[in-house]
Amino acid sequence: MAPFRIVTVDDSALFRMMLRNVIKEIPNCELVASISDSTQAAEQIESLSPNLVTLDVEMPEVDGIAVLRQLKRRKLATKVIMISRFTTSGAQVTTDALIEGAFDFIVKPSTGNPTETKALLLAELTERIDALREESSSETPPRPVPFQQSPSRGEKKTSFGALLIGCSTGGPDALAKLIPELPADLPVPVIVIQHMPEKFTSTLAARLDEASELTVVEAEEGMLLSPGKVILARGGKHLELRRQGFSNICVRLTDDPPEQRVRPAVDYTFRSAVSAFDQPLLAVILTGMGRDGTLGCELVHRNNGHVLVQAPDGCTVFGMPKSVLKAELADQVVPLEQMARTIQNLLKI
């Protein structure tokens, strides 16, 4: 098997050295270039044709998102992972990069312990490289299938209580395409669980709100759900839905242990939603690594809900939708460009 070719772009000599040492420890990976001058990065990357580029978000001459846009203009197939500092400005630029199509991002570890920092960076980078390898070598994915009404429901019309959306890798880009296509008169509340750390979800919510007719907000403790309001799970916190009084449902943010190694977790929120709502739920699983969302979709399905998964074409990583599909929990496999219309049809808009 040919080695997985990587180029790193970072103005810090110390961090370039750390990345070099980390990449040496990932099996069958080759560092083909370590670039410090971001002004020449796009040209060098094009000539090298690597499988992956790690791209520092904040650089003095040309920042990471500018380099990413140059790579897009050159129509390169190379995947890009943004390397971001844990700052508000870093979060803003990183979110924009993800919406522009970056594969994923890694927050620069800052433990104060070089050994621990290296171990964290190795784990983060290995996980993403494994996902890229799996996507490129996986079996032919299933083709989108037309909707067939669940036999248990027959011809009975379903009134849904809420729209639940779960996503991970590639999610910001998918959400930036889906949410603005939903109408302002959406008759149900929307809850979105995107795997992201603290600080990054507030920026994503703001970007989606700017582009949408719907109101998009980051989750806050005690926030009430209402039709046409999109609540994005807060990074680093689980989002639990609880009934409040006779008819209200509110948000509770918790520090309960991660599930599927993530917090917020899709399964956690879906599970609480099934308990909080009397009506069936409409669930959507978009692009992402891993299996988070599968157990939640099983509960949604068991309670007469309806499950949509994003079709493989257009997924950054087909892992989460594929897991739901393999568990035979998907009612429909829908291309992203048709997802908003499919949701509106099911909600009878």
pLDDT in tens, 241-296: 999 887 899 999 999 999 999 999 999 999 999 999 999 999 999 999 999 999 99
b/e map of 260-292 (b: 16 or more CB within 10 Å)?
bebbbbbbbbbbbbbebbeebbbbbbbbbbbbb
pLDDT at residue 274, as a whole number: 98
Query: According to CATH, where is 3.40.50.180 located in the chain?
Result: 163-346
> In which residue are the tokens 């690594």 written?
289
CATH architecture of the domain with residue range 4-136: 3-Layer(aba) Sandwich (3.40)
Of 56, 96, 292, 331, which is the active-site residue? 292
Provide the pLDDT for residue 114.
85
CA angle in degrees (0–180, nearest 5) for 36-77-128: 70
| pLDDT-derived band at 199, boundaries 50, 70, 90 | confident
What is the distance between the alpha carbons of residues 273 and 307, in angstroms, rounded to a whole number? 14
Choice among 38, 56, 96, 195 that is catalytic: 195
Report the predicted TM-score, pTM, of the whole model to 2 decimal places.
0.91
Residue with more model confidence, 137 or 72? 72
Q: Which two tokens stand for residue 113?
A: 């312990």
Q: How many CA atoms lie within 13 A of 258 on its CB side?
A: 10
CA distance 228 to 42: 41
Q: Read off the tokens for 105.
A: 């991002």
Q: What is the mean pLDDT of residues 167-171?
A: 96
Among the residues of the chain, which ranges form H helices? 13-24, 41-48, 64-73, 88-99, 114-137, 171-178, 200-211, 266-276, 294-302, 319-326, 336-346
The answer on pLDDT for 152 being more than 50 is no
CATH number of 163-346: 3.40.50.180
CB 332 within 8 A of CB 310: no
Q: What is the DSSP letter of 1?
A: -
**Where are the CATH 3.40.50.2300 domain residues in the chain?**
4-136
On whether the CB atoms of residues 155 and 187 are closer than 8 A, the answer is no
Respond yes or no: is residue 11 known to be catalytic: no
195 is catalytic: yes
- Catalytic residue, chosen from 84, 168, 212, 272, is 168
